[in-house]
Amino acid sequence: MWDVIFKQVQSGVREAQYFEQALENAILFAVSNPAVFEEREYWSTAQRHDFQPSFSVLTGWAKEGLSAIGPSTGWQFLVLDMGDCPDTFRIYSPGGQILMSEQQFGRVLSTELIISPSEMELCFEPDTPEIYDTLFESGASELCAHHVSELGDRFLGWTSSPKPDFGGNSGYFLWLMLGSLALVEPLRDASNRKAILQGRDKLHLLSGYEEIFCYLATITPQGLVYEPD
């Protein structure tokens, strides 16, 4: 299930030129794959729903997180965590990145669709202590944190329903697609990219749920690219 979701989210971010096109493609993909996305009523409602107001808010959250990273040099990566049951929009910078092998990390991004902490830990020297804690707990730097309830969207804000139902696989897919598109949206503008990089050569972007992620894109001084090297 996750490989299907992550692969399609990657494709949606990279291939669509604007939000409405990416959303339409995502809905058509889900409807045509009922073995994975079996919640037919969910997608019938999604086809009638106006997601633009929520997407505008998500894009604002993305700008907030990206702008909070601060100046630096070299390379870095950020993670967009969309929650457990799909409910959060949290951007953070994992810790200990200065100790990681850029070459090995690029190899992970190039070869692994689903990236977990174990793949990231391989980018450190074998004797590095407390790698998980450094990456995701004590060493991590939170840049923004929001909850789906803040959107005031009755379809996406399933937690406010008397009988919460986030839509199963369909809910995971749609929320990750919306969040990932919003994360990349501010970076389509060259002036925004320069302001966000603040001296870096590369800024890699990942998105996912808690401890599983997929690689989305890389910001460079030359533009937004979809290969880590």
Q: What is the pLDDT of residues 55-106, one digit of tens each?
A: 999 999 999 999 999 999 999 999 999 998 788 999 999 999 999 999 999 9
Among the listed ranges 118-127, 153-162, 182-191, which one has the minimum average pLDDT value? 153-162
What pLDDT is recorded for position 199? 94
What pLDDT is recorded for position 97? 97
Rounded Cα distance between 87 and 106, Å, is 29
pTM: 0.94
Rounded to an integer, the average pLDDT of 134-144 is 96
Rounded to an integer, the average pLDDT of 150-167 is 72
What pLDDT is recorded for position 18? 87
Rounded to an integer, the average pLDDT of 29-56 is 93
